[in-house]
Structure 1
Amino acid sequence: MGSSASRDRFLESLNSLATTAVSPDDSDFWDELWKLPTTNSEVFSTFTPGLIRTIRSDQFNNLETLFTQATAQMCQIVETPYSIYFDQALNCVRVLTRITPFLIEIDPNHSEIHTILSKQIDEMCFSVPAQKHTEVLGGEDEGEAQPLALLVVHAAMHMLFLPQFTADYYDEEDYDDEDSSDDEDSDRDSDGSKRALPAVEVSGKKGPKSPQSPDGLDTKLSHQSPPTSGGKIPFSPKSKLNSPSSSPQGRPPPPPVDRNSNSISLAPSPSSLIWSPSALPGFIGNSSKKASNPENAYTSNRLEVLLLLLTLSSEPLFHTTTPPRYLPLLTSPSCPNAPLMFYSLLNTVLGYNPRSSSIPYGSAFGNQSEILTSSLHLLNVLLSYGEPCEILNKGVDEALKVSKKDTGNVYATLLLHLSSEDDMIFCCEGFIRLLNNAHLSLNTYLPLSVERLECFEEVLTLFWFFLRNESFKKCLLEVADVNKIVVPLCYLMLEENSNADMVRICTLILLKLTGEREFSVALNRPFNTHLPTSLPLFRGTHCDLLALTMCTKAQKSDDPSFIVILANVSPYMMSLSLVTSSKIMSLLKFYAERVFWKGSLEKVGWLVEVVNNIVQYQFSGNSAFVYACIRGKAVFERMNLSAQDITEGWLKTQRKLIAANKKHLLIAQPGEGFMEVINQTIQLATIDRLLGALAPKIDKFAVTSNGVVDEQDLLDYIKKQTLVGILPVPHAIIIRKYEGGSGEWLRCYLWGIVFLKVKWPVWDGGQIRLFKVNTE
């Protein structure tokens, strides 16, 4: 942590920016500002929202210089990645993270002043600089100038995989501690303090010049570069990273970039830089690299850069109708290291093991849950934007290629085209491990001995995105045990502190999965897991678990999705327990009594369809369900309504709703065609024949037993019965597939999670327009 003196000097410099016009040529002021030792907490506490807005409105040129200098210094550290400058680079990242939300929150329609500010910010970040340089960041042609927004995005993407800063690029034998200390000593001032990066010209302002990058960033430095001894520099100031001469000894150089090609390869390069490798071959995990240490030395630096990228992506928080401008840069196929970041974030998330420690309470001695949450936030935000790119080489067994002019989302493209069986198994196991932590962390002999994650909503959102991938869905249904996903979904829906949005994302996932026959068939496997919920005790299958969960939620919510899920799986329920059967009948009775309420008639129709499906297709194994139907015979009899019953029922319902001040729930007065609607919606032919054939037999069986019938004897008696020749012609099985997206709701939900869970107060809640923040 920075000393109190350095904090005071930092605050003094910031106050100067708010009151005095500081020249971009004042190298003493800017050099001192950047080399002051700070921490993230000090930057956020010292650089207050009020101070930033004051600089923005009163001394905008100072803010522009601050943003430009920080961006340029980040570019420079990518070019000359010496550890002596890493603290200075982190200062730049922290400052950019702090001020960016106050640059993108401006609503030009708010006032005339905001319109002027918006124009200034647009010219600063997104307009091409008037003074062009011969060598610039990311340009396809020599002399092509680039906007500052593109510079900061590309520089941050490079910093995520900067050797010895956020990535381990060398083998142990490549290190030379003696040379390293010599290098650092040579870059200190005479008083022993760290020397700031020299200032050079960038777009007409003083600051470090834009550096060289794997994607064409090439700059001639106008100052003396740090010494190049020891072979520790991954690329020299005047050479490109994809040059063989700049690759460390023993490491293959990245493939050269074909400037004349019209396509971009989506293969990560070099793949050795992917974070958190597993034992799998391929890009999700990397068998050629040792598994990363849980106490990874680069984690804190990665967190800072990830937070900056998340901040740059946060335009949807403030502008709900205007298309974002940073997100297209971040998700573009030409964004440097995008495939590396995609696979690194996936490995970090799906390779995480909450039970990695072999001793109870091991997570108390250090864990990686913060990098897990940050990776989830950024990955979900990037996947939620736009549409996938169009692949140029479909069906070809090589790295994916897309057009340079494609404006699609590179991360959505990579996710959609994951297909390796090993990778899919790795992903399925990762989701199973993370989601089951919800209940496994509570089912321990020692309370809280297993780390409990706090990011289940984020994991569920990522799982929702993964369901777009047909290879993943196929692996989940046919190779992995999909019931290991069903159990935590049901638990999270029933958990006491589960919110409505978490219940909804779980519901959407189940809607998507129940559209697949393999999913419903798999539910018939025995359920033996103890869940710490209020569900009634039962012995049965995962069908029972799902049905009980849906019935419980359906009685507390008007959402019809719960009953649709139940209807989708009902043709495949081979053996329901008596507890579940009674619960379904109770739910049917609950809605049958409200048939004249809005939406209830359709729900009754779906529940009758559930009964028909089980009786028609799974009669032999469902004696308990048939018994529950016979016991609820009166419910079905009341649903055989006549015209007079409809009129009387509507009037009775009207009086009840008026008395309860719920008149808005009443349907319009039934007309002549309502009887036809009833008959089309509620199909009772199958259940009527079941009751007509078995109800008298059950009554006779009870009489012969002198009125004392053991329940198990009755179930055994029903098992011996048959309905062959009694039931009508089998009706068609209807499966309602959910094909829609989640639209605006998902974006609000996702950003709401990010806003609440980000460690630092990045955004001012009072300025957010995507959702309402209670600031009281």
Structure 2
Amino acid sequence: MGNISDPCLLPHHPQPVETTDDAFWDQFWADTATTVQDVFALVPAAEIRAVREESPSNLATLCYKAVEKLVQGAESGCPSEKERQIVLNCTRLLTRILPYIFEDEDWRGFFWSTVPGAGDEGNDDGARPLAESLLLAVSDLLFCPDFTVQSHKRAEEDMQSIDSCEYIWEAGVGFAQTPPLDYIHDLNRTELLKLLLTCFSDAMYLPPSAQNNILNRWVVFFSSTHNRHALPLFTSLLNVVCAYDPVGYGIPYNYLMFSDYREVLVEHAVQILIVTLEHETLNTFPNRHQTHSTEDNLFVNYLSRIHREEDFIFILKGLARLMTNPLIQTYLPNSTKKIQFHQELLVLFWKLCDFNKKFLFFVLKSSDVLDVLVPILFYLNDARADQSCMGLIHIGVFILLLLSGERNFGVRLNKTYSVRVPMDIPVFTGTHADLLIMIFHKIITGGHQHLKPLFDCLLTIIVNVSPYLKSLSMVAANKLLHLLEAFSTNWFLFSASQNHHLVFFLLEVFNNIIQYQFDGNCNLVYTLIRKRNIFHQLANLTSDPVTIHKSAVTVAIDKLTEKAQVSEDGTMVCLQHNTHSPQMTADQNTHTLQPQTAGDQHKHSLQSADTNTSGIAGASDTLSLPVLSWKSKLPLQTIMRLLQVLVPQVEKICIDKGLTDESEILKFLQHGTLVGLLPVPHPILIRKYQANAGTAMWFRTYMWGVIYLRNVDPPIWYDTNVRLFEIQRI
């Protein structure tokens, strides 16, 4: 490797070197003292590009010879240390070179061409494209005894007849035995997985497009029946991820004293999993030209067929343990290892729920779903104001939207929230539903301006679970009313044509709770009574163009921040007023929700608003007509009837008993009833997540963006011409 800059490969010496010149080519992988970091340092990007442009035949031969060495290693089983080192050096060299092959349009198909003369020696694989030979060799090497797995026999094992299902890396799904840990095997597996990930990254060099349904050929072949190791590879990757415990025995600061090679392996394993499971989403939409189905992708097929309850328990416990890891608090600061690959875990959890409905129903069958909910809410709250974390918030919200489409999720939210996680929220006594509402309130009122297109999504989740919420706390009830108060102001309602949707969502939440969970929700009923002016103002909302224009110009536009903080006992504590103007523009891609009821189905799209607050005045005339249409549809009947019945009763009891303490009013409301007084209950409307081409493209872009940023040692794709997303260097 020290001779990587041989004159024959430099741009000013473009002479082709013969393929048969083994003495020359062997110098690239014969050195035994290299690491992957050495390879990246010794092979600079400028040199690779120069060789690609001025000595293309030499670069092609280098790739071919490196793949040939991997194939030879896979066939022989790497019995000697020298052969293992050659395999590792070739792996590192290809990991370094491949991104520069992909970034050039003329080279992208190189690995999918056959090598002239490769089959002259009677090798049946001679007609194989180089990419297929590479993928099959790497798959074989991932189950090579004494190199990546523990040998079961004393005699040398034949790589061609080996049953790799006996060499699955970790106990768990489909495998009961726990192989002994060997950090050398973990290191070698990691090197090979890096190369696989680099092969799959071909997708990063294609521009984003919702209509781009071109399948990743690398992933298609790797996850097909052509790969005889597909099943043991899938189970090995999944089991390694779900069995990993970063805390171990819990010895403080153990991660500072000992290297954890398993963590790096786990991180690459979860990245390989989400990439191999991603391509299938492109085939779930109509008008596709490919004939691939779920069965073609064995990874998707195996994932969808997991059904044993003990496997579900193993997967859910493992993912929940890893997701919760960053939330762990200890008396000694920073004494416990904190993993950094939680975004990849969220994508994997999404894929599990999306492809395996039995797993989704198992997750929602018990309160274990809350072990996933709490860390997701923690991530959402922690990232809400960070523009670089918008993708994390989107994937978290999508997961909660998917879960909220099932009745059991709303039921599970009624469990008391007792585990205290470090979040900047008011202290409260309540349920997980209260926690969800408070976090969503913070995202809406204190999140980044680019999150505005997610407001519909956040409120849709609350609407979906609202018919099952048995007892909201006073804090959560006040948060919901504060949102309604903010969204029903004239300046907000008239600043964009879709903003009234948010008011409709919140009114639907209140109607659901009143109609289906009135008993036990005295805190919300009391808050509705106390804030009854909001509903009267909505009922009397003007649609006069002059008034709309006047309100848009003269009303002071306050940022959506609380004017008062509600303490646990319900009392109001005034806070300093914030007068920053909100941003009413949005530039995020939008996603479609499919509401589903027994008798009615209609589509509701989350659309981004291109309207700026500066254009409110000019648009007031055109807004007045739509206002007339939706104002008459405001679902206020149930709430107004509740106020009509209860407000006089509450006023009377306050006067008769001279009450000044709201606890007495709450007791009165707690024992009250509206049976026979409310309108006929409306059917429960659940809006379920529906995938589309836009969300599929978003998932792919987000996933590869995360993988790009996570792989910095070595920086596999740094300074290459990535086209799937834009890279901003700080």
State if a TM-score over 0.5 links the two structures: yes
1:719 paired residue number: 670
Question: What's the CA shift string for 1:320-353, capped at 9, x where partnerless?
Answer: 3565332322222212312111111101111111
Q: Counterpart amino acid of 2:652? A: K
1:16 positional shift = 5.5
Q: Of 467, 477, 480, which residue of structure 2 is paired with 1:584?
A: 480
Question: Is 1:761 aligned to 2:715, yes or no?
Answer: yes
Comparing both chains, which one has the higher relative contact order based on Cα–Cα distances under 8 Å and sequence gaps of 6 or more? 2
Distance 1:307 1:156 in 2: 11
1:739 paired residue number: 690
Alignment check: 8 A CA contact 1:424 1:475 kept: yes
1:423 positional shift = 0.8
Gaps of 5+ in 2: 285-290, 559-580, 582-611
1:737 is paired with a residue whose SS is strand
2:519 paired residue number: 620
1:736 is paired with a residue whose SS is strand
Distance 2:662 2:123 in 1: 82
Cα RMSD for the two superposed structures = 2.6
1:571 positional shift = 0.8
1:470 paired residue number: 357
Moved more, 405-414 or 489-498: 405-414
Distance 2:370 2:89 in 1: 47
Distance 1:762 1:580 in 2: 46
Alignment check: 8 A CA contact 1:389 1:410 kept: no
Question: What's the CA shift string for 1:61-102, capped at 9, x where partnerless?
Answer: 111111111111111111112133100111111111111111
Question: Is 1:27 aligned to 2:22, yes or no?
Answer: yes
Alignment check: 8 A CA contact 1:765 1:773 kept: no
Name the CA shift for 1:100/1:670 in 2 (closer, same or farther; >3 Å).
closer
Distance 1:634 1:647 in 2: 23
1:4 paired residue number: none
1:549 positional shift = 1.4
Q: Counterpart amino acid of 2:327? A: H
Q: Counterpart amino acid of 1:632? A: K
Alignment check: 8 A CA contact 2:641 2:678 kept: yes
TM-score normalised by structure 1 residue count: 0.78
Alignment check: 8 A CA contact 1:387 1:412 kept: no
Name the CA shift for 1:52/1:536 in 2 (closer, same or farther; >3 Å).
same
Question: Is 1:160 aligned to 2:142, yes or no?
Answer: yes
1:13 positional shift = 6.9
Distance 2:418 2:467 in 1: 23
1:540 is paired with a residue whose SS is coil
Distance 1:617 1:416 in 2: 35
Q: Of 3, 7, 10, which residue of structure 2 is paired with 1:9?
A: 3
1:675 positional shift = 2.4
1:33 positional shift = 3.0
Distance 1:11 1:167 in 2: 35
Question: What's the CA shift string for 1:204-239, capped at 9, x where partnerless?
Answer: xxxxxxxxxxxxxxxxxxxxxxxxxxx22x11xxxx
1:454 paired residue number: 340
- Rg (Cα) greater in structure: 1
Alignment check: 8 A CA contact 2:281 2:696 kept: no
Moved more, 404-413 or 161-170: 404-413
Alignment check: 8 A CA contact 1:521 1:572 kept: yes
Alignment check: 8 A CA contact 1:493 1:502 kept: yes
Distance 1:691 1:429 in 2: 46
Q: Counterpart amino acid of 1:344? A: S
Alignment check: 8 A CA contact 2:51 2:58 kept: yes
Name the CA shift for 1:39/1:128 in 2 (closer, same or farther; >3 Å).
closer
Alignment check: 8 A CA contact 2:548 2:624 kept: no
Distance 1:124 1:486 in 2: 43
2:673 is paired with a residue whose SS is coil
Name the CA shift for 1:703/1:432 in 2 (closer, same or farther; >3 Å).
same
1:546 paired residue number: 436
1:416 paired residue number: 304
Name the CA shift for 1:14/1:561 in 2 (closer, same or farther; >3 Å).
farther
Distance 1:616 1:388 in 2: 41
Q: Counterpart amino acid of 1:105? A: E
Identical columns (%): 30
Which one has a larger percent helix, Structure 1 or Structure 2?
A: 2
1:568 paired residue number: 464
1:23 positional shift = 2.4
Alignment check: 8 A CA contact 1:647 1:670 kept: no
Q: Of 701, 725, 729, which residue of structure 2 is paired with 1:771?
A: 725
1:657 positional shift = 9.2
Name the CA shift for 1:9/1:676 in 2 (closer, same or farther; >3 Å).
closer
Question: What's the CA shift string for 1:570-593, capped at 9, x where partnerless?
Answer: 111100110110111001101011
Moved more, 332-341 or 749-758: 332-341
2:327 paired residue number: 439
1:199 paired residue number: none
Alignment check: 8 A CA contact 1:489 1:506 kept: yes
2:397 paired residue number: 507
Moved more, 310-319 or 594-603: 594-603
Question: What's the CA shift string for 1:561-618, capped at 9, x where partnerless?
Answer: 1111111111111001101101110011010112223222010011011111111111
Distance 1:102 1:672 in 2: 56
TM-score normalised by structure 2 residue count: 0.83
Alignment check: 8 A CA contact 1:438 1:492 kept: no
Name the CA shift for 1:13/1:97 in 2 (closer, same or farther; >3 Å).
farther
Question: What's the CA shift string for 1:514-559, capped at 9, x where partnerless?
Answer: 0000111011011101121111111011111111112222234422
Question: What's the CA shift string for 1:19-74, capped at 9, x where partnerless?
Answer: 35322222222233321122111110011111111111111111111111111111
1:357 positional shift = 2.6
Alignment check: 8 A CA contact 2:10 2:51 kept: no
Distance 1:127 1:677 in 2: 63
1:352 paired residue number: 244
Question: What's the CA shift string for 1:379-436, capped at 9, x where partnerless?
Answer: 111111135999xxxxxxxxxxxx9999822211111121121111111111111111
Gaps of 5+ in 1: 1-6, 108-116, 176-230, 248-253, 255-269, 391-402
Name the CA shift for 1:757/1:41 in 2 (closer, same or farther; >3 Å).
same
Question: Is 1:318 aligned to 2:205, yes or no?
Answer: yes
Q: Counterpart amino acid of 2:614? A: K
Alignment check: 8 A CA contact 1:435 1:459 kept: yes
Distance 1:743 1:539 in 2: 39
Name the CA shift for 1:632/1:772 in 2 (closer, same or farther; >3 Å).
same
